[in-house]
Amino acid sequence: MGNFMMVLQYEGTRYQGWQRQESTGNTIQGRLEALLSKMTGQEITLQGSGRTDAGVHALGQVANFHADTQMQADEMLEYINCYLPEDIAVISLKEVPERFHSRLNAKGKKYCYRVNNGKTPHVFDRRYTHMVEEKLDIEAMRRAAQYLLGTHDFKAFTSNKRSKKSTVRTIDGIKIEKNTGMSMALWGERNEICFTYRGNGFLYHMVRIMTGTLLEIGMHKRKPEDIADILSSGLREKAGELAPAKGLTLMEVYY
């Protein structure tokens, strides 16, 4: 019985998130499990490093599965990509030690949230960026982000109120960078702001709520110092709005 690890990317626009659901087969995990089961002739359970929400994308999602097969990893990779839809691709696949688990062994993750902070929509980025026309104060958002760094109880930054698991997480870094370059003359100026988060783990909706809160600070609806009060309150209603899923991409998982 082999244990195989895959790194995959997907555009999450038309899927109901990563996690398999009884009510629909239109999930990333569901699509992959169906394909892997057909390929191996066995019922395959795919373990992902985490669950991305409906509409969220991934450049470096990691998953693993066990299978009793004579196929080599490169043969499986070719088969899988031959039958996957064009918005899902496995970019690497290899056999790993029996005890490897993509979620339990993960040491951290990096996410990127993209905001189009201009008046003009960018047609080719419309599925990957959230448009905010009001000018954002980047320095205010950077000051606010400093309060989120380190180890805190992020209970106020999750939509999951029923979970009994710990809501303590560590954020190692938050970068808020503006890209105003012109890659092509016809595209015009790109007023894009990228929020990059690195941490040991993220709660349900945590990145999107942090981003929504920072955006409100960037629009001067809140002060940077408000983040400290939000954290100490532990109350979801104290934090900002949930930013739309389409701006979020899982970039990398660290082991």
Report d(CA 217, CA 13) in Å as an integer.
28
Q: How many CB atoms lie within 10 A of CB 204?
A: 16
Which DSSP category does 136 fall into?
P
Which residue blocks in 47-174 are alpha helix, DSSP H?
A: 73-83, 138-146
CA distances from 62 to 39, 93, 139, 172 (A): 19, 10, 34, 20
CA distances from 3 to 24, 43, 45, 102, 250 (A): 27, 14, 11, 11, 23
How big is the chain by its Cα radius of gyration, in Å?
20
Closest to 232 in 3D by CA, of 173, 154, 121: 154
- The answer to whether 175 touches 154, Cβ cutoff 8 Å, is no
Q: CB-based contacts of 13: which residues, under 8 Å, 6+ apart?
A: 55, 57, 87, 127, 246
**Encoding tokens for residue 231?**
């954290």
Sign of the dihedral through C-alpha 231, 237, 238, 239: positive
Q: Is residue 53 annotated as part of the catalytic site, yes or no?
A: yes
**Encoding tokens for residue 63?**
């998953």
> Which residues are catalytic, by number?
53
